[in-house]
Amino acid sequence: MAVSQVKKLGIVVTSERKIELIKLLQRFGHVQLIEPEKSDENRTAELQSQISERLKNVQDALELLEKYDNSKSFKDLLKPKTELSPDELENAAKKENEEISTKLNSLKNKLRELEAEISSEQTYLDRITKWRFASVPFNQNESLKYTEVFFVSGKSESVQLIETRMIEEKINAHVCIPEENSSEAILFFIKEHNDKVLHVLSELGIVQEEIESDKLPEELIEEHIKTLKDLKDEYEKIEYEISENIKYQNDIQVLTDHLSILKTQEEGERCFVNTKYCCFVKLWVEKAKANILKKHLAVNIKEIEIMELPIESDENVPVVLSGNALTSPFQSITTMYGIPGRTEFDPTPLFAPFFVLFFGFCLSDAGYGLVILLLSLFGLSLKAIDKDIKKGLVLMTYCGFSTIVIGALAGGWFGLPLETIDNGVSKWLLGFKVVDPNKDALLVMGLSLLLGAIQILWSKLLAMYKAIKNSEYMDAFEEFIWFIYLSVFFPSVVKYAGYIKGQYWLYTVFIYMAIVVIIVALIKSKANIILRPVLSILKLYDTVGYFGDVLSYSRLMALGLATGGVALAINMIAQLAADMIPGVGIIVQIAILIFGHAFNIIINVLGSFIHSMRLQFVEFFQKFFDGGGSMFKPFKLSTKYVRLINK
């Protein structure tokens, strides 16, 4: 079920053809190189260090250009990537663009230095500007024989008390305060009172400003204003020089992709075992592509030997998920839980219909589904989207369609009360309505639990299939018995609740199947002969777990009701705003409708996705899927800015 088998190959080639082999394998793109236990780590590290430095150099330059490129518009973001063949990409990656990148990084470093200088200069200027009123130099105490000058600052109320405290301490001093409530002051006092002055300043929490300059504050301020202006001019000049290099942005993008490919090649080279004349590499290849690879290599390299290697029983064999166009968008959900082991099957196509159905149940508003569908189709129409993003959009297209169908059946259209709207459109939409979730909540709950019971039973059949596939026939028989037992148990619960009349034979079958479950558990149990009967009877307690699993599916109804309830509330609030606010009420109403429903869509799409995924992970996968495998990691050409094509 969509898990491709892989082969293990060994390739021997002459040393001079090694790089050619690496390029061929990378361009083939369907192999995973196996790293040997011992490799030439020193040489590999040296090579990787060189290429990594070059790559970082151009990436940093590209980041700088993107920062200063203000010409890009939304239309540019939607443009398709440049299409080049691998050879064209290699030829387009010019060495001079690497030199331009080095120059740009040098300019970037200068900008950083200037930023630090400008910040330091601005801080210093802010510090001295407040002394513009002073008519004495900052540092002239050495030239004075009897007097000292202090430039001090502190809280305004403390500064105002300086003169009073000087008088109290009988200090012969003159205090110059430029204005009332000022936080700065200049003190002139006799040198022999230095200690007393410092004591007073300390008491008041006032600090002395120590500025090393013998110039007048006005002169010093003007000097540093000019210095700051010169620094800013130089900064702008460098910014202009950077913007002049934006024309090389596309060329540097090509170079970045080329160096990324070289880096991958260097990483692949460490998987080779080298001798004096030859080198050897082991790899995994998808079974269906093994012969194609052999022919491809044989045609291009004559001095080559390719052999199939045996796969050890305990070897960690990578898994290739080869789903079709319909199911591959769901593979990301599978891989979030785990990768199928070598003896497992891919559960993706087996849960995909349930996921889409559950998503529609959770959202259950056809209007919201239509928005999701249209946005997804618009995204798919763009040529510039990434392959993984495209898969996500396809998945949301499925979910949007499911939401439209289920929402239409439930009469949900942007939370509108269609019954109160008398026009042809509402009557036409009401024609699709089958159930009202608000009036028939019990019916919707029953449908949710029924879907849960069906998926639980489906999981038991898959567990049985897995056991048969692995020749575990007793386990398969046990899963089959549980399938029959639960198939009777779930209807029996419904009958017991009074929703099924008659059909008393269900109880009889239920009792017999319970006995069979105990017998099977008794046979399989490895406990001692005394505990075995007790543990076998306790096996029936698993029924409670399965019943709880089914109840988990009630969230489908709860989330569906929540979406419709919030949508209805948004419409009511918008209508109230229109009625209560004269003049601009209609504008407020439109704003509330747009932003309210947009918020509701985002929140509930996220909730629907998470809860639908949780049901697969917790209630479905755990019944049969271990997910202990490792993903096949192809050694391939990978680019960010250029779309590679074969010509």
Could you report the per-residue pLDDT of 319-329, keeping only the tens digit for each? 888 777 788 89
Question: For helices 41-68 and 249-269, what crossing angle results, to 10°?
Answer: 160
**Strand pairing partners for 13?**
279, 304
Between the CA atoms of 344, 349, 353 and 355, what dihedral angle is there, to the nearest 10 degrees? 60
Q: Scanning the structure block, which residue is given the tokens 């709207």?
A: 421
Here the tokens at position 563 are 């979406």
The burial of 152, by beta-carbon neighbours within 10 Å (0-12 exposed, 13-18 middle, 19 or more buried), is given as buried
Angle ∠(422,427,429) on CA atoms, nearest 5: 130
| Alpha-carbon span 391 to 414, nearest angstrom | 27
Report percent pLDDT > 90 for the chain: 26
pLDDT above 50 for 122 = yes
- Confidence label for 41 from pLDDT (cuts 50, 70 and 90): low
pLDDT above 80 for 492 = no
Output DSSP code: residue 615.
Answer: I
pLDDT above 70 for 540 = no
pLDDT above 70 for 590 = yes
pLDDT above 80 for 246 = yes
The burial of 162, by beta-carbon neighbours within 10 Å (0-12 exposed, 13-18 middle, 19 or more buried), is given as buried
pLDDT at position 462 is 92
Tens of pLDDT along 339-357?
A: 888 778 889 999 999 999 9
pTM of the model: 0.76
pLDDT at position 585 is 78
pLDDT at position 522 is 46
Instruction: Average the pLDDT over 168-193 and give the result.
Output: 83
Tens of pLDDT along 455-485?
A: 999 998 998 898 888 888 877 887 887 787 7
pLDDT at position 211 is 79
pLDDT above 70 for 526 = no
| Alpha-carbon span 151 to 139, nearest angstrom | 9
- Confidence label for 528 from pLDDT (cuts 50, 70 and 90): very low
Q: Scanning the structure block, which residue is given the tokens 């569906």?
A: 560
Query: Is pLDDT larger for residue 399 or for residue 467?
Result: 399
> Which segment of 13-22, 173-182, 568-577 scores lowest on mean pLDDT?
173-182
**All domains in the chain, ordered by first residue:** 1-39+271-329 (3.30.70.340), 140-210 (3.30.70.2750), 347-623 (no CATH)
Instruction: Average the pLDDT over 114-133 and give the result.
Output: 88
102, 57 Cβ separation under 8 angstroms: yes
Query: Average pLDDT of the chain?
Result: 83
Report percent pLDDT > 70 for the chain: 87
pLDDT above 90 for 536 = no
Query: Is pLDDT larger for residue 222 or for residue 181?
Result: 222
561, 437 Cβ separation under 8 angstroms: yes
Output DSSP code: residue 305.
Answer: E
